[in-house]
Amino acid sequence: MSRKRTLSRRKKVALLAGAVALVGGTAVVMTGTSQASAACDGLAGALANNEKFIADQRANPDALSQARIANREAVIAEIRRKQAASGCDADSGAGAGAGAQQPPAAARPPAARPPAEAPPPAAEPPAAQPPAEGRPPAAGGDVVCPGSTVTLSGEGGAPAASSNQFPLGTRLKVTNLDNAKSTTVEVTSVSGSCVLLNDAAFEQVREPGKFLIRKARIERVG
């Protein structure tokens, strides 16, 4: 009788330990899945917003619509590359509509606005800066977003930038390696790319006739 009771107790302990290990493993898997899902949802939201912007431009075209569409198509290509690298469904953002889960407001790109609508003013508009050739270069900073292309957002106002990786107020130095021109701007809004320059900032570093900087160095300087 004593031996049977000892075996029974050992079986109970083994079963209990197995159950604890199973629950712990399930929790780890669920946590990893949740984090991956949140990243994919953010990329899907950015993709849907850029596709909506392109559709609005095609529905209400103006003289700059083709340039804006080309810029957003470059952004969409970068988002799809990130989706593929993260193992997301590349079509998850297409036609997502109102039913798609949206990322938190701090990380979600703003809804596309018709071109005629002026962008909302920033709380503290950045001071106008002289052209890149006329001001001393900013101190070197940490290189961020290596390999990213830079295009323009189509927004007006003083030189500024938008980003999906840096908080408002961050200062970024963008250098066009094809012509060695650079500009240092403040992040004033959120977009679906590492950095988008508004019209004034892009004019300081662009090459004539080009709307995309394929060889860029982006540095965080403040």
What domains does the chain contain, in order, with CATH numbers? 1-95 (no CATH), 119-222 (2.40.40.10)
Nearest CA-CA partner of 115 in 158, 58, 73: 58
- Tell me the β-bridge partners of 219: 143, 173
Distance CA 45, CA 100 (A): 8
Distance CA 120, CA 100 (A): 26
pLDDT tens over the chain, length 222 residues = 555 455 456 655 555 555 544 445 544 444 455 666 777 887 887 888 889 888 988 999 987 888 888 878 888 888 888 888 888 865 544 433 333 444 444 444 555 454 454 555 544 544 444 444 444 444 567 999 888 899 888 888 999 999 999 999 999 999 999 999 999 999 999 988 899 999 999 999 999 988 899 999 999 998
pTM for the structure as a whole: 0.42
Residue type for 172, please?
A: L
Nearest CA-CA partner of 152 in 211, 66, 73, 217: 211
